[in-house]
Amino acid sequence: MQFIVLLEAVVWSVLWSIVVFTLILRFPWLIEHDYPKDIREAANIPRPSAPQKRNGLIFSILGYFIIIGTLMGAGLWHYHSTPISFWSLLLHLWIICFFWNIVDLLILDWLIVCAITPDWLMIPGTEHCKGWKDYKFHFNGFLQGCFYMSLIALVFTVIDYGILYFFLW
């Protein structure tokens, strides 16, 4: 079972990464608030047109629907025929969520954003900003993510466990 949880965590992290990088590259106004202060101040992201806003909204809804559905499916798929405790299910979903938080910090933020900082990632006009190398900013985001990912795992454990308990077992 440990391999399956790890595989699900990797898949969930890849899905999250696709959503995040798509937002950065195609819909930067939707993720602008996640940048360090100096980058936000120097960024001159054009305001989106009505079609761009619509496309960003559609992508966000579909992306988050897939991410949420994948997390819900992880609990339902594995345990639909085998009753388990609430705490076992919580641990399963928490591992998936926490794995993403670690991937986000170590690979996306520290490796790609801070260490490599590829040109395609940088918002024009922000190349001089120190925020691109601000490891502490991203670590603080990781700490916030620890809380939010734990909360997400708890919420979806309650949902999954309710579905399992009342409808599948």
Q: CA–CA separation, 114 vs 161, rounded Å?
A: 39
Q: Mean pLDDT, to the nearest integer, of 102-127? A: 96
The DSSP output letter for 32 is G
Confidence of residue 60 (pLDDT cuts 50, 70, 90): very high
- The whole-number pLDDT of residue 1 equals 67
Is residue 145's pLDDT more than 80? Answer: yes
- The whole-number pLDDT of residue 4 equals 93
State pLDDT tens for residues 124-136.
899 999 999 999 9
- The whole-number pLDDT of residue 111 equals 98
Q: CA–CA separation, 108 vs 33, rounded Å?
A: 17
* Domain limits, the chain: 2-168
* Strand ranges, E, within 1-149: none
